[in-house]
Amino acid sequence: MAKKLVIKVTAGADAPERCSQAFTVAAVAVASGVDVSLWLTGESSWFSLPGRAAEFELPHAAPLPDLIESILAAGRITLCTQCAARREITEKDVIEGVRIAGAQMFVQEALADDTQALVY
């Protein structure tokens, strides 16, 4: 059975290096054939919206829209339910392929067999 990786990213433009690291690790893991679930929480929640990732800039880092595209191609991106509600983001607002789910689902994924969880 393949190893799974659950990544929770809590940082956005407020901590660009930490944010970029989370998306980069997720994209590299997906490209390596790992089953990846990336969770957007806190300030990273904004990247669930179309066009928001294009506004993110970090020198010497892969463009965030490219990383999101590669993660969605073979992995999952989930927006935290409470984080979405606090920002008035609904399912009709998010990028196609992004789901909204809560802490129960995160815990279920993070505690599954053969799963490694990382928080950025």
| 5-26 confidence digits (pLDDT tens) | 999 999 999 999 999 999 999 9
Measured distance between the N- and C-terminal CA atoms of the chain, rounded to whole angstroms: 26
Round the average pLDDT of the chain to a whole number and report it: 97
- The whole-angstrom separation of Cα 15 and Cα 18 is 6
Q: What's the alpha-carbon Rg for the chain, to the nearest Å?
A: 13
Residue 1 has pLDDT above 80, yes or no: no
